[in-house]
A and B are shown apart, each in its own frame.
Chain A
Amino acid sequence: MKLVTVAGPPAVGKTSVLLRMNRLLKERGLRTGVVKFDCMQTNDDETFQEAGIRAVRGISAELCPDHFFITNLDEVCAYGRREKLDILFTESAGLCSRCSPYLKGVPAVCVVDQLAGIHAPSKIGPMLKLADIILITRGDIVSQAEREVFFRQVMLVNPRAEIFPVNGLTGQGARAAVDAILRRTDTPDEEPSLRFPMPMAICSYCLGETRIGKDYQVGNVRKMKLGGAT
């Protein structure tokens, strides 16, 4: 079974793009499945199931969604093997722009939205920088000039990646993306590991503290340097 991690900021069109790609893979006779990680309620798994694609969802609720993702990955892979899948996609949103859920030796796909503006690529962080394949959505309604500038920005941030514009509504470009995924021959490490460490989050607020002020802050706390008159 081939595992593919798909990530991208919230609401960029990850689900539509995945639907398009999975339909194309199904046409080729491959068994595919999607495990969707989210922190809030989602019905996206039903959207996949309606299209005849196996889908499971995981709601992280009060936990950090990225940590939730990585702590469940073993079990998710075991599920994929039980279902005898050819390809299993995980879908997650790197919410803090500091995370990237990618593993060494596992194809990593990042989805970004053209409408997020030309500076977005340099703000997304390791999720974009460490991806192997980058899909740009919503490019159909902006000028060619803006498309080219955005494409260039993405390329500058991650010169290694293959970049494809994909239209989630019409599916245009999805074929090229699928082709790129199938072409990859990554082999996962014996002992899988993350490409980039996840943010450390061990302060009182991680443990449910709601009060604000120095007295209530313990653990991994760092104060900003604000400058100005003392």
Chain B
Amino acid sequence: MTCTDTLASLLEQCPVLRVYLNDLETDLDETVSFAENMKRLPESFFEQRKSDRDAECRQFEAYLRALEKTWNSDALRADTLTILPGHSKSGAKENFQKIQLHRGQTTALVGRTGAGKSRLLEDIEWQAAGDSPTGRTILINGQKRAQRPLGQRLVAQLSQNMNFVLDMHVRDFLRMHAECFHARADAAALAGQVYRTAVSLCGEPFEETTPVTSLSGGQSRALMIADCALISQAPVVLIDEIENAGINRRMALKLLTGRDKIVFIATHDPVLALLADQRLVLSDGGIKDVMQKMSGEEEVLRKAEETDRFLTDLREKIREGQRLTVS
């Protein structure tokens, strides 16, 4: 991308450039380049901006370079996330050497309400370096915060109290999000993929032209998960209490981990907790225990899912006005 490419082709590659161009507050000809547009503008334009043609071109080039750095960047990748111990609210040292999580792994955060889930999340988001209330240090790919690029958002969140607030329909909404990171044509294809994935996750079809604010709870959750897996660039995902959303949980997790995300699930639901590769047990603001999933727990999970299906089935029958009997 340079200032001699036509604006139309730049906008095709990088739709968000529109923000910069609009900000010039003048009509531009998109069939020619930025440099050419500058040549055609009257002196008064530059006088008002206290600049000249060369300065405007240089500034635009610099902006393009800065943008390229954040575009589909590999710098965002997180292969490992390491937690080094801190202490609980009452000051007891956390009893582990280090906890290392790899991409594609799922970790359940379990414990009573107020046990320290939010503190852990904040440590991760900020990449604490022994300087948060917990005293923990978080490393990404073995690196401390100071060594990592600034302003990168690490954690994407999915929680029960999140809503869509924009007045847009599903397709436009997804395209807008995808265009933050992709060329226009790729963004359109990606948006279609997210839509289809969301529908298969919730099993409750909706249209691409449905406004996002009129989706049901299950549909919204499904769309948020598919969007998070396929469009969001954040390498870590925290799923916060979404057990009652009426979505295929196993498939949702597989989707996220399949995209090389490091997934945390804060949950009280036994099925979700058992779907994870390991569990961090939180208590009094500290990590009390790290438990790998045991082979015997697969069997427990199978039974829990059976019970879960039984309950789901009952729920459906009651909704449809059927009579229930013990079979």
Contacts and interface: CB of A to CB of B under 8 A. Distances in A.
Q: Do A and B bind each other?
A: yes
Contact of B165 (A146, A152, A153, A163): A146
Contacts of B173: 145
A59 to B, nearest CB: 33
B162 A144 contact: yes
A175 B19 contact: no
A175 B232 contact: no
B46 interface: no
B164 interface: yes
Contacts of B163: 141-143
B96 interface: no
A176 B150 contact: no
Contacts of B126: 173, 175-176
A53 interface: no
A115 interface: yes
A10 interface: no
What's the interface size class on B, roughly?
35 or more
Given A122-B22, A143-B162, A175-B126, A155 B231 contact: no
Contact of B23 (A117, A144, A157): A157
B227 to A, nearest CB: 5
Contact residues of A: prevailing secondary structure: helix
What's the interface size class on A, roughly?
20 to 34
Contacts of A118: 166, 176
B254 to A, nearest CB: 19
Contacts of A163: 151
Interface string A173-198: 10110010000000000000000000
A104 B177 CA distance: 35
Contacts of B151: 155, 162-163
A178 B223 CA distance: 35
B164 A146 contact: yes
Interface string A11-54: 00000000000000000000000000000000000000000000
Nearest to B69: A159
Contact of A151 (B66, B153, B162): B153
B156 interface: yes
Nearest to A171: B122
A156 interface: yes
B96 to A, nearest CB: 23
B228 interface: yes
A115 B177 contact: no
B281 interface: no
B166 A146 contact: yes
Contacts of B19: 122, 153, 156-157
Given A152-B16, A155-B151, A145 B227 contact: yes
B210 interface: no
Interface in A108-162: 115, 117-118, 122, 140-146, 148-149, 151-153, 155-157, 159, 162
Counting chain A CB atoms within 10 Å of each CB, which of B16, B67, B151, B158 scores highest? B151
A223 to B, nearest CB: 18
B180 interface: yes
A172 interface: yes
B66 A145 contact: no
A170 interface: yes
Contact of B180 (A117, A143, A148, A179): A148
B48 interface: no
Contacts of A157: 19, 23
Contacts of B156: 144, 148
B23 A122 contact: yes
A145 B231 contact: yes
B232 A145 contact: yes
Contacts of B122: 172-173, 175
A141 B149 CA distance: 27
B177 A145 contact: yes
Contacts of A159: 63, 66-67
Contact of B16 (A115, A145, A156): A156
Interface of B: 16, 19-20, 22-23, 63, 66-67, 70, 118, 122, 125-126, 131-132, 150-151, 153, 156-158, 161-166, 173-174, 176-177, 180, 220, 224, 227-228, 231-234
Given A148-B177, A156-B20, A162-B151, 15 more contacts: A117-B166, A122-B19, A144-B224, A144-B232, A144-B234, A145-B174, A145-B177, A148-B180, A151-B153, A155-B70, A157-B19, A159-B66, A172-B118, A172-B122, A176-B126
Interface of A: 115, 117-118, 122, 140-146, 148-149, 151-153, 155-157, 159, 162-163, 165, 170, 172-173, 175-176, 179
13 contacts: A122-B22, A141-B161, A141-B162, A142-B163, A144-B162, A145-B232, A148-B177, A155-B151, A156-B20, A156-B67, A159-B63, A159-B66, A162-B150
Q: Which 7 A-B pairs have the closest CB atoms?
A: A156-B19, A152-B180, A145-B177, A176-B126, A159-B66, A144-B156, A145-B227
